[in-house]
Structure 1
Amino acid sequence: MKKILVLCVLIFMISCKNESKKEAEQSKVKTTIKESFPNELGEVFKKHGGIENWRKIQLLSFNKGEEVHTADLYSRKTVINSPKYSLGFDGKNVWLDEEVEGSFKGNPEFYYNLYFYFYAMPFVLADDGITYDKVPAISFDDIEYPGYKISYEANIGSSPEDYYIIYYHPNTYQMEWLAYTVTFNSKKPSEKYNIIRYNKWENTNGIVLPKEITWYKKDDNGNPTTPARPATEFTLPLLSEVSLGASFFEKPQ
């Protein structure tokens, strides 16, 4: 089983930089970035470090509790390492490797990129195959947050029926809220949204990444009210312009 700390990832990246350009290239060029989006969302991306800077990044890593999440931003190959289990996506299949059977509670196919999407906001909303529609603002603490609904073209991702709504501060353009649907199991469109507040941010190499998010309850009008659960914290952010070889994302033998 893979058990790596972020420091090990750094060492591995440096050692792999000149190891195999061919292997690295094979793991890329799967996910493209949309070239145009509404001006307001352009300002949101700019507030968080800018699309051009984001495009330079090959590898993203962060910790959620004991889990170390590592993702290739182009192929979307992913590995999650923890003391009791590892799981990931090798570009074709989702895999799970447990120290003891039953250590991982959940569905690997649903979970492997769940927190990647939450963590890589707002930039994952600049992927290709996305449609943007302006929606009514939500209100919280006497501030009206404008929003854009994000929907996907057919056959984009494992749940193309999912919708996201990004809400941003009307003056600073910083992302403040994310509403989203979950259609992984039903495979049917839904208008039932969960909502997350992006409480804290941190600057990592010029890119502003979330440090803490909190799920909120909503009123009958869809406005957030009070926290629904304790905040989820992210630590040890890592962004690198160096990609990892395909073997890093494969299931351990």
Structure 2
Amino acid sequence: MKLLPIFVFSVLLLSCNQKKKENISENSRKADTTKVIPVETDGGIGDGATSITDLHINTIETAHKKEQFLKHKIVSFMIDLSFGGKERLKGKITMFTNSTKIRIDKNDGTKLIYTGDTSYLCPAEANDKGARFDMFTWSYFFGFPYKLSDSGTNWEMQQDRILDKVVHSTAKLTFDEGVGDAPKDWYIVYTDPETQLTQAAAYIVTLGKDISKAEEDPHMIQYKEFTSVNGIPMSTKWEFYGWTSEKGKTEKIGEATISDITFLEDESDLFEKPANSKVIN
């Protein structure tokens, strides 16, 4: 009977030692797990995960129903655009949803057509001043929310900015060398915090000018009055402002009304070289 306390004590000691070993093993396992957690150096959110920037752009494109938009071959719309109280462009723009072909029929009878390879002005005797700018700028602004992840685009998340007293997340878009007519252009895109739609974009225009000159006079386009077309949200009112990094948008300089947005599936001869036309460079 005297051996029983010694036996019980031995059992308890062995049990405590085993528990201590298990605790040490568990702590070691946790420490090892902590050590092998990878740290993303490119703004990612986990090993193999989409980067924060890519996730941001994907969210915007999803909000704009990009996949649904690109299922259509062609989109057309009426545009009434003015700057400084003077009409800049009034007519109809028809374009491939992927922007590879564009046609502008102005109310004055002038036509601009981009066949996918060459840009034409019709009639040949029409004034070609600003023709190439008109051809690609306004169609780009219309298709902007669907082109955020095009090949050659680069994104950098920036600080939150206030627009109309509301805090918006912003990101800067730049382009690889040789992309488009003006690869040195940049955009700072404001995203609506509730809808995740593109609310505005500050930008510079470098076509025909040095980038340092362009950066002295940045502008902003603000997208307003969204409507649903075939379930796709589209802005029917554009407003243009001056813009600075410190103040955001400043004075209003222009506006555009977008109407009669229609999808087409048959291009017919819409984007063929017109008779009595000339190439615009």
| Bin for the TM-score computed over the shorter chain | 0.7 to 0.9
Q: What is the aligned partner in structure 2 of residue 221 from structure 1?
A: 246
Task: Please tell me whether the aligned partners of residues 202 and 243 of structure 2 are also in contact (alpha carbons under 8 angstroms).
Answer: no
Higher helix share: 2
1:31-110 matches, within 5 Å, as 38-49=54-65, 51-65=66-80, 66-74=90-98, 76-82=100-106, 83-98=108-123, 101-102=126-127, 106-110=129-133
Q: What is the aligned partner in structure 1 of residue 273 from structure 2?
A: 251
1:176-187 matches, within 5 Å, as 176-186=199-209
Query: Structure 1 CA distance, aligned partners of 2:110 and 2:152?
Result: 33
Which of 166, 188, 200 aligns to 1:143? It is 166
Percent identity between the aligned chains?
22
1:108-147 matches, within 5 Å, as 108-147=131-170
Alpha-carbon distance, 1:235 to partner: 0.7
Q: What is the aligned partner in structure 1 of residue 11 from structure 2?
A: none
209-218 or 92-101, larger mean C-alpha shift:
92-101
In the alignment, structure 1 segments of 5+ residues that lack a partner are: 1-34
Query: Structure 1 CA distance, aligned partners of 2:181 and 2:105?
Result: 22
CA deviation string 1:50-93 (max 9, x = no partner): x3212312112111134110112346111101242101211222
Which of 232, 236, 250 aligns to 2:256? It is 232
Kindly indicate whether residue 158 of structure 2 is the aligned counterpart of residue 158 of structure 1.
Answer: no
Secondary structure of 2:215 counterpart: coil
Q: With the length of structure 1 as denominator, give the TM-score of the two structures.
A: 0.75
Query: Structure 2 CA distance, aligned partners of 1:56 and 1:139?
Result: 34
Query: Structure 2 CA distance, aligned partners of 1:58 and 1:173?
Result: 25
Query: Structure 2 CA distance, aligned partners of 1:140 and 1:148?
Result: 14
Alpha-carbon distance, 1:220 to partner: 6.5
Over 3 Å counting, the alpha-carbon distance change for 1:243 and 1:149 in structure 2 is farther
CA deviation string 1:77-126 (max 9, x = no partner): 11101242101211222111139744x6x321111021111111311222
Over 3 Å counting, the alpha-carbon distance change for 1:222 and 1:250 in structure 2 is farther
Larger Rg: 2
Over 3 Å counting, the alpha-carbon distance change for 1:156 and 1:212 in structure 2 is same
Query: Structure 1 CA distance, aligned partners of 2:165 and 2:238?
Result: 20
CA deviation string 1:118-146 (max 9, x = no partner): 11131122212111111223213321111
Task: Please tell me whether the aligned partners of residues 129 and 156 of structure 1 are also in contact (alpha carbons under 8 angstroms).
Answer: yes
The number of residues matched between the two structures is 213
Task: Please tell me whether the aligned partners of residues 239 and 256 of structure 2 are also in contact (alpha carbons under 8 angstroms).
Answer: yes
Query: Structure 1 CA distance, aligned partners of 2:174 and 2:125?
Result: 39
CA deviation string 1:9-32 (max 9, x = no partner): xxxxxxxxxxxxxxxxxxxxxxxx
In structure 1, give the amino acid aligned to 2:274: P
Query: Structure 1 CA distance, aligned partners of 2:244 and 2:92?
Result: 35
Task: Please provide the CA RMSD for this pair.
Answer: 2.4
Secondary structure of 1:122 counterpart: helix
Task: Please tell me whether the aligned partners of residues 139 and 224 of structure 1 are also in contact (alpha carbons under 8 angstroms).
Answer: no
In the alignment, structure 2 segments of 5+ residues that lack a partner are: 1-49, 81-89, 276-281
Task: Please tell me whether the aligned partners of residues 169 and 193 of structure 2 are also in contact (alpha carbons under 8 angstroms).
Answer: yes
Q: What is the aligned partner in structure 2 of residue 199 from structure 1?
A: 224
Over 3 Å counting, the alpha-carbon distance change for 1:109 and 1:100 in structure 2 is closer
In structure 2, give the amino acid aligned to 1:92: D
Task: Please tell me whether the aligned partners of residues 225 and 235 of structure 2 are also in contact (alpha carbons under 8 angstroms).
Answer: yes
CA deviation string 1:194-222 (max 9, x = no partner): 11111211111121111001012335614
In structure 2, give the amino acid aligned to 1:48: H
Over 3 Å counting, the alpha-carbon distance change for 1:132 and 1:138 in structure 2 is same
Alpha-carbon distance, 1:187 to partner: 5.6
Secondary structure of 2:267 counterpart: coil
